[in-house]
């Protein structure tokens, strides 16, 4: 009897050990956050931003605005860390082996890294939009500008724009349908004599966002200083959440930034995308695997390839600073990153279903 008992115990131990071996591969993955940062050197570029008229580079003030908010609210850094952890965990859990994350350690020397789109089961995510027009005469922003801006957002985030990648690029397989649509919920026109609103969110305080938990709010005004626009990253105060755009760069207007791509760029920030060069030299990163490292932003309409950090820059990406006609793609890695914040527990999950 004792011998039989020992035999049964041995068999039980064997199956327990086997079961542990089976379970081991599906234990929760470790999420590497060692390369994460929030503060950037964006302020170092302030002089060139203010001299936009003498430069061929877009003037986005989002990272400068983020640095200001971090200084004003020390708790924001931890909140953004938690959002990043959730994003990376979602991509690591749902993605395939090549499915996302950052480029730890900065430049990898790769010119084309493939990332698989995460199958999140969410389909097309609709984003309802409120537009606040704030000018001495708010009618200066036409209905055509509103209509063309909404059309551009929908085309760019669904990858249905008519632009084509330049001949010879290795990035053709990276352009993707990010799976977002945008619907106009309302337009508010405010006749306000203020001539310039700056980048300290004063226009948002004067005209607060409407239900920012469920709607994207866009303010159109004269920002001043040659600034085209700025956005707030996920994690900031709901009282200032949204995107601010200069009226000259809203919808179809004239000039090299007149195709509505400033809004596409700034909504990318609102969806948690960094600038494609990581706002620093080669060792800095945008936390997206299939966007190659770059030394700095690109302006104008560069020919392919424009090379830095030992690899071709993805100058045609919406998160660079090139002219509107020369930017026309998000990548699968950027898609995965944007959609992560709409998952359960994500920073913008409350927008789903509205």
Could you give the residue numbers annotated as active site? 266
DSSP 31: -
Do 204 and 219 meet the contact criterion of CB atoms below 8 Å apart?
A: yes
Q: Read off the tokens for 48.
A: 């060139």
Query: What residues are paired with 127 via a beta bridge?
Result: 182
Q: How far apart are CA 266 and CA 17, in angstroms?
A: 53
Within 221-331, where are the H helices? 261-270
Which run of H or of E encompasses 245? strand 243-246
SS3 340: helix
SS3 101: coil
Closest CA to 329 of 103, 219, 149, 173: 173
Q: How far apart are CA 106 and CA 112, in angstroms?
A: 15
Cis bond upstream, residue 305 (ω within 30): yes
Q: Read off the tokens for 89.
A: 């965990």
Count CB-CB contacts under 10 A for residue 241: 22
SS3 222: coil
Residues 6+ apart with CB under 8 A from 140: 247
Q: Read off the tokens for 296.
A: 């700095």
Do 88 and 256 meet the contact criterion of CB atoms below 8 Å apart?
A: no
Query: What residues are paired with 129 via a beta bridge?
Result: 184, 216
């Amino acid at each position: 009897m004792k011998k039989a008992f020992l035999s049964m115990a041995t068999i039980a131990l064997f199956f327990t050990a086997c079961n542990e071996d089976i379970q081991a591969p599906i234990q929760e993955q470790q999420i590497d956050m060692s390369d994460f940062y929030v503060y950037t050197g964006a302020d170092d570029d302030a002089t060139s931003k203010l001299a936009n008229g003498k430069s061929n580079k877009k003037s986005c003030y989002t990272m400068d605005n983020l640095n200001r908010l971090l200084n004003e609210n020390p708790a924001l850094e931890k909140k953004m860390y938690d959002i990043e952890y959730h994003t990376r965990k979602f991509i690591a859990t749902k993605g395939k082996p090549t499915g996302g994350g950052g480029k730890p350690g900065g430049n990898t020397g790769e010119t084309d890294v493939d990332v698989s789109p995460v199958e999140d089961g969410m389909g097309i995510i609709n984003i309802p939009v409120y537009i606040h027009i704030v000018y001495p005469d708010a009618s200066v922003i036409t209905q055509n500008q509103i209509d063309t801006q909404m059309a551009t957002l929908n085309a760019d985030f669904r990858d249905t724009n008519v632009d084509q990648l330049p001949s010879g690029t290795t990035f053709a397989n990276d352009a993707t349908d990010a799976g977002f649509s945008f619907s106009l919920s309302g337009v508010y026109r405010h006749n306000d004599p203020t001539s310039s609103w700056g980048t300290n969110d004063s226009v948002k305080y004067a005209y607060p966002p409407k239900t920012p938990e469920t709607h994207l709010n866009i303010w159109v005004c004269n920002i001043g200083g040659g600034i085209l626009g700025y956005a707030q990253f996920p994690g900031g105060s709901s009282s200032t959440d949204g995107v601010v755009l200069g009226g000259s760069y809203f919808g179809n207007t004239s000039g090299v930034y007149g195709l509505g791509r400033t809004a596409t760029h700034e909504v990318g920030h609102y969806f948690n995308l960094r600038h494609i060069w990581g706002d620093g030299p080669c060792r800095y990163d945008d936390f997206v695997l299939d966007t190659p490292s770059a030394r700095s932003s690109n302006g104008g309409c560069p020919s392919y390839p424009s090379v830095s950090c030992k690899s071709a820059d993805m100058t045609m990406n919406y998160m660079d600073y090139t002219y509107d006609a020369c930017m026309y793609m998000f990548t699968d890695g950027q898609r995965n990153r944007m959609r992560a914040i709409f998952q359960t527990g994500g920073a913008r999950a409350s927008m789903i279903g509205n």
